[in-house]
Structure 1
Amino acid sequence: MGRQRQPEIRDRILDACVDHALVHGLPERLEPFAVAAGTSTRMLIYHFKTRDALLRETLGRARRRQRDYFGDLLAPRPGEPYPVTLRRAWHAMTGPAGRPFLSMFGRLREDAGEKLWPGFRRESTTDWLRPMAEGMRSIGRPELGTLVLAVIRGLILDLESTGDVERVNQAFEDFLATLGDVR
């Protein structure tokens, strides 16, 4: 008789792999994940079948974490002008708590990442359109959701490429000023 699967162990391992990947990126080999999870590569294969399956599940869980975190940041707040919400979200997303997500998924947009998550480029854009439109609806301009998303994505690419935080933050402030009365 074979061992019974233990979903709680698998779940704990996956969380440890996500935590590791957010700090260090996706590993080429399984050993870093095994060390991070306090297990062996054999147990990783037992629970996830293949390296690519583990990497896909790691990316999927990390993406859910990102959507939850960024989604909360981008949600309109009663009585708060949406540009103020965007400013707070920008600083959190590009700050220490958000940068690991930006780095991980920025790398995934490269061709190699498409093998692990076909269609990621499209999904990583379209899944933010609704929250942006909802936020912009709070100031009567839902049609600007695409524009806001494009500016944020472009500035994030600029930040990731250059590391020029001051210049990119100023560009974001300049953009917010075009949206109206920002406090």
Structure 2
Amino acid sequence: MAEHHREELLERATDYVLAHGLIGLSLRPLAAEIGTSDRMLIYHFANRDALVSAVVARTNERAMAAVAALPGARSIRAGVNQLWAAYRTEPLNSCMDVYCQAAATGLIGREPYLTDARASGELWAGALRGYLIRCGAPQRRVARLVTLVDSALYGFHLDLITDDPDELARGVDDLARAAEALAVG
């Protein structure tokens, strides 16, 4: 029963963070919005850090599910462009925003978040590996492709706020061509 209630609270807290962001997250307003108390959140998550870490991990799970649901594309180039289109729509857009906010506030680079962030990163890389293989990436090259595509798309996502979307799309297509060349090279 307690585990079910914790999971329910985690789902609602994740929905809240996806809608309102991670920066400036405070337990009392969060608790009020999701229909509980800050004491109940502390009871189930021990402290704010553990709750935030759980929310970031749950966001990553949702992002991985979205990537897993993407059909393979006819080529690596088409796959990278399709992945970028998915990054710009829900749920990946909000999930990437939460990851960017966690990184911007230094959460990912220090404990108690670092260990969880590394574990989530490995799972995320696995989701991208599976997707790129569905798009035709050879096993021997997929790890390098994941590193290239993940890092570059993360950067492009950060640039969405300030850069022209059409220019970013051209940059993503350049990345997609480079990824395709790497796959066969």
- Cα drift, residue 124 of structure 1: 5.4
Q: Structure 1 pair 22/152, CA: closer, same or farther in 2 (3 Å)?
A: same
Q: Residue 93 of structure 1 aligns to which amino acid in structure 2? A: Y
Q: 1:122 to 1:55 in 2, by over 3 A?
A: closer
Contact kept? 1:136, 1:144, Cα under 8 Å: yes
Unaligned runs of 5+ in 2: none
Aligned partner of 1:167: which letter? E
Q: TM-score of the superposition, structure 1-length normalised?
A: 0.75
SS in 2 for 1:112: coil
Matches within 5 A, 1:76-155: 76=72, 80-110=74-104, 111-113=106-108, 114-119=110-115, 122-123=118-119, 125-134=121-130, 135-136=132-133, 139=136, 141-142=138-139, 143-147=141-145, 149-155=147-153
- Tell me if 1:44 matches 2:38: no
Relative distance call for 1:43 and 1:168 in structure 2 (3 A) is same
Aligned residue for 2:176?
Answer: 176
What is aligned with 1:11? 7
CA 76–22 in structure 1, closer or farther in 2 if over 3 Å, else same: same
> Residue in 2 aligned with 1:167?
167
**Counterpart position of 1:156:** 154
Letter in 2 for 1:107: Q
Distance 1:50 1:34 in 2: 13
More moved, 87-96 vs 114-123 = 114-123
Do the aligned residues in 2 keep the contact of 1:129 with 1:146 (CA within 8 Å)? Answer: no
Letter in 1 for 2:148: A
How many residue pairs get matched? 173
Contact (CA 8 Å) 1:109, 1:120: kept in 2 or not? no
What SS class does the counterpart of residue 139 from structure 1 fall into? coil
Q: Which has the larger radius of gyration?
A: 1
Question: 1:25 aligns to what?
Answer: 21
Task: Please provide the CA RMSD for this pair.
Answer: 2.9
C-alpha distance in structure 1 between counterparts of 2:46 and 2:40, whole Å: 9
Q: Aligned in 2, Cα 1:89/1:101: closer, same or farther, shift over 3 Å? A: same
TM-score (norm 2): 0.74
> Which structure's relative contact order is higher, taking Cα pairs within 8 Å and 6+ residues apart?
2
Question: CA separation of 1:95/1:137 partners in 2, compared to 1, >3 Å: closer, same or farther?
Answer: closer
Q: How far is the alpha carbon of 1:30 from its aligned partner?
A: 0.2
How much does 1:69 deviate? Answer: 1.4
Once the 2 structures are TM-superposed, how far is the Cα of residue 128 of structure 1 from its aligned partner?
4.3
Q: Which moved more, 1:58-67 or 1:119-128?
A: 119-128
